[in-house]
Amino acid sequence: MATPWLALLAGPLSYGIAAPALLLDDLARATGTGEESAAAGVTAFGWGIALGTPLLAALLARRGVRAVLTVAAALVAAGTLLLVLVPSMPALVVGAAVQALGSAGLTVTAMKLADSARQMGVVAASLAVVGATGPLTGALVADISSWQVALALPLLAVLAVPAARRGSTSPDAAPASFDPLGMALLAMLVTAAVLIPHRPLVTGPATVALLLLLVTWIKVRPDGFLSAAVARNGRFLAACVLAFALGVVNFALLYSAPDLLRQHAGWESTRSGIVLLAPYLLGGFCSAFLVAASGRVPRRVTAAALLATGAAATLLAAATTAVPLLLAAMALGSLAAATGQGVLALHATGVVSASHRAEALGLFNLAYLLSVAFGPAIAVALSHPTA
């Protein structure tokens, strides 16, 4: 499949994450809620892509590319219609979740079809670059049309579906029987984890309990929905944890940026969106080259560099009020997350057998995309501690 089509298939998912960054006030006014409640749509999108990634990766392994593309495109279209046609908070949450389920399927398919480090780098960079332009694009589209149309931007990925169908592959080897209990436990675990930033006293213990139940079930059904060959692979799990941490840093900084720039520079949302293009585009474009070159660097060196870059972004954003340094922190966060998603995806799928790579890719993206639920919620909580 041609690389530009892969980028178009994957990249618009980031509109669902980033486009609302400058629109939370508009969403709050339109739905008659507070800004923190309006951020529930972003949380719902995070839940959808986190849950949809392993579910549709399993469908990819069992039924192949064409089945996933059909289901994913239908979900994106249905969710987008709900967002556009019903301007209410319940519709916002449900529409964002359904749209995200489909977007996750399109993105995991793009990563599966990427057959080299260079193509994987372009896929990761497309997600980062679209995320960089997402806040400004969302604000401009909302100014020209409406906030509903801005939330419909992930639908652009459907344009690449015909090309992806032409580049379809056969299904991977799949388990002999379906494991509905394993799938249900994973779905409940993802749901509880996504809600931790909002209801930690309830969902925190529930997440731990569900995790223990899932670990126990894996022992009972080692070849079930979540196979033991993947879940017990230490190097795979390490890649997932690092990707999640880098994502939390990046998305927290992305949603903190408008408030930080308003406080320290007095900039309005549109100006902030224009200025933020520089650090986030820099991080996105550079990540494409770094992912492509990562095959020549030892894995431990790569992981250490990513961890150091993410930590530097966090410390710099927390310690400074100077706008150039804040922008530098955002560039470092974007670079670490975008590069980490591509490089660590290659690492995560490279340490499992070929028959488990679609599953491993789905679970890796689950770990990374869980950060979408945590990062914005953390940013809003820090910006509005009394909300």
Q: Cα(38)–Cα(31) distance, rounded to whole angstroms?
A: 8
Is 70 exceeded by the pLDDT of residue 174? no
Lowest mean pLDDT among 10-14, 67-71, 125-129, 173-177: 173-177
Q: Which of 91, 110, 85, 93 is nearest to 42 (CA)?
A: 93
Q: Are 126 and 10 in contact (CB under 8 A)?
A: yes
What span, in angstroms and rounded, lies between the C-alpha atoms of 101 and 103? 6
The predicted model scores a pTM of 0.78
Q: Could you give the CA distance from residue 49 to residue 164 in angstroms, rounded to a whole number?
A: 20
Buried b (16+ CB within 10 A) or exposed e, 257-290: bbebbeeeeebebeebbebbeebbbbbbbbbbeb
Compute φ and ψ for 169, nearest 5 degrees: -120, 165
Statement: residue 40 has pLDDT above 90: no
3-state secondary structure 88-111: CHHHHHHHHHHHHHHHHHHHHHHH
Is 308:142 a contact under the CB 8 Å cutoff?
no
pLDDT at 239: 92
In order of their start, the domains of the chain are 3-170+221-383 (1.20.1250.20)
Residue 311 has pLDDT above 80, yes or no: yes
**295 vs 297: CA distance, rounded Å:** 6
The amino acid that residue 168 corresponds to is: S
Q: Which residues of 325-337 are buried (b: 16+ CB within 10 A; e: fewer)?
A: ebbbbbbbbbbbb
pLDDT of residue 176: 46
Region 303-323: what's the mean pLDDT?
Answer: 89
C-alpha distances out from residue 2 to 8, 93, 126, Å: 10, 34, 14
Residue for token pair 């100006």: 271
Does residue 61 register a pLDDT over 70?
Answer: yes
Q: Which residue has the tokens 């922008």?
A: 327
For 187-201, 259-273, 299-313, 366-380, which range has the lowest pLDDT when averaged over its residues?
259-273
pLDDT at 81 over 90: yes
Residue 384's pLDDT band (cuts 50, 70, 90): low
Q: At what angle do helices 200-220 and 180-194 cross, to 10 degrees?
A: 160
**Most confidently predicted of 222-236, 304-318, 320-334, 336-350:** 304-318
CB 138 within 8 A of CB 149: no
DSSP state of 172: P
